[in-house]
A and B are shown apart, each in its own frame.
Chain A
Amino acid sequence: MNRLLLNKIILLLSTLSALIGISFLFWILATLSYKGITSIQWITFTKDLVEGGIRNLLVGQFTMALLATLVAVPVGMMAGIYLREYGHGSKLAAVIRNLSDVMMSAPSIVIGVFVFALLVDPFNGYNGWAGVVALSIMMIPIIISTTDNMLALVPQELREAGMALGGSKHKIILQIVVRAAKVGITTGVLLSFARIIGETAPLLFTSANNQFFTMDLTEQFPSLTVSIYNLATYPDEASRQLAWAASFILTTIVLIINLFGRFIIRNKK
């Protein structure tokens, strides 16, 4: 076949692929917005699930995601610091890095099963803490990877300059290196928060769901995502509507956090 013709065809197909990709995005966002906006009412935000709103679900989902972040960020950052600053080059660090990456892509439902066996079954009941633990397990490897990669971007001379002034290693790491990587790490945390807050599978049998408003993490805990799953399968129109409203709000939150994170990184460059 003519070289130029083949070239044109491939380039055309590639452009077509991009168009298909974008159109799916718009299709999804369009239908979501349409169904979502038409389903939102005043009570959506002011009432809890038991009364046809999603107030407790929003609070619950945010709470668990926030708590998971509070656990995952220090642990993940410290692990990332170890991999890049202390263990750099060692075989052990390489192994840990690989394991952490595996955990990053591990099926979230399996993590749910694991935490169920650990924190739900022995206590004979779903509880919010189990949900937090499941979300943390998913978040930690992402933070590790982000920290590791962002620290790697800090030029070696900066570390040497710090040491040359008579700094001890851990002070240099905290006061100079991490600080230099601050923007990248923060963005990483934001993006992983956005990912965690949209998760369903790890919550299905850990924190399950709760129709009522509660902040008691020792019992079933309200979840926006789990509720969407349940509501979507109910036959009545009101439930479907609520599912759409919840889906729209969830997606809006996730996309805003994502865009915000990317905006930060673009500006601080």
Chain B
Amino acid sequence: MGGKLFRNFSFFSATLSFFILVGIFAILFHYAQESLHEFGFDFLWNQQWEAGEDDEGGIFGGYIPIIGTLSSTVIAMAIAIPLAMGIAIFLTEIASVKVAKPVSVAIELLAAIPSIIYGMWGLFYFAPIVQATFGGNGVGLLTAGIVLAIMIIPFMAAITRDSMNTTPSVLKESAYAMGATKFEVIKDVIMPYSKGGIIGSIILALGRALGETMAVAFLIGSVMHTVGKVTDPTTSIPVLLANNFVEAEDLEMSSMYFLALILFVVSFIIISTAKFYFLGKKVK
């Protein structure tokens, strides 16, 4: 009967995500073998990245791109979290309905801008400003971190806003009725109530920042160097992959798969952790 066919097809479609996920892990793991065997866990601490002669062998270590990914993300989070929280507070508790609507739309448009556009704008307009203010070359860790922050702020602000909006009005009203200031109501009632969603949004944004490729590719400098000053250029895992993956051979390519695997696993863990925090409340 049509019913059984429909149900089976829907079940099969649902399990597709599972198979794709497993497939990704399997493929990355498979192709990373060469590098895994050659370098083992030392791969994580090794700062070298040199192809061997005639593209045979070579020494590859993931330290620099890993640190680049982590530090650009940390910079981004440090900037983004307070700003995103501020925007969420503005949208839920400060702005009148007339103002909140267009501002909300503006924030969501910011989120819709493709990352490559952030890269273009960042490279030609923002980098010179960073250079003028902080020195360095314009392209480097700091610029990448700041633009990354701008990219994840709308996302974090939107989810935080939705989380905060789930706070029942009666709860807020009881606090105001006791003479609490707006800030106190936010601090003592709204934040604790929407804690799960807020933390979840932060962690989710963290996951996004880790995997961000195009904007960072324009702005981080794409050189295999460690960072001395925060304005120095370096690279990150997604950037290294974006720029060098196709030309790599054998061991180098295997090392790239290794890096992709690391990135994938770390993202998976972080996003799953975020979901755990959302478990309490169904935020949209």
Contact = CB atoms under 8 A, between A and B. Distances in A.
A255 B181 CA distance: 38
A104 to B, nearest CB: 8
B89 A14 contact: yes
A225 interface: yes
Nearest to B4: A170
Contacts of B264: 106-107, 110
Interface of B: 1-3, 6-7, 9-18, 20-21, 23-24, 27-28, 31, 82-87, 89-91, 93-95, 103, 105-110, 112-121, 123-125, 150, 153-154, 157, 181-184, 186, 204, 207-208, 210-214, 217-218, 238, 241-242, 245-246, 256-257, 260, 263-264, 267-268, 271-272, 275, 284
28 contacts: A6-B181, A10-B183, A21-B87, A21-B106, A25-B106, A25-B109, A27-B121, A76-B13, A79-B17, A81-B10, A83-B14, A93-B14, A96-B14, A96-B15, A101-B271, A105-B208, A105-B267, A109-B238, A109-B241, A110-B260, A118-B27, A168-B3, A171-B3, A198-B115, A225-B214, A243-B120, A244-B120, A250-B114
Given A13-B86, A232-B119, A254 B114 contact: yes
Given A18-B86, A21-B106, A102 B119 contact: no
Task: Sort A-B residue pairs by CB-CB distance and give the 8 closest, nearest first.
Answer: A107-B211, A17-B86, A198-B114, A82-B10, A7-B181, A78-B13, A79-B13, A18-B90
Contacts of B2: 170
A24 B150 contact: yes
A25 B113 CA distance: 9
A141 interface: yes
Given A105-B204, A195-B112, A18 B120 contact: no
Interface string A27-68: 110011001000000000000000000000000000000000
A144 to B, nearest CB: 7
A22 to B, nearest CB: 5
B110 A24 contact: yes
Interface residues of A, number: 89
A91 interface: no
Q: Which has the most chain A C-beta neighbours within 10 Å: B121, B182, B267?
A: B121
A210 B24 CA distance: 27
B243 to A, nearest CB: 9
Contacts of B110: 21, 24-25, 28
Contacts of B214: 200-201, 225, 229
Given A86-B11, A199-B114, A255-B112, 6 more contacts: A83-B14, A86-B7, A200-B116, A200-B214, A229-B116, A258-B108
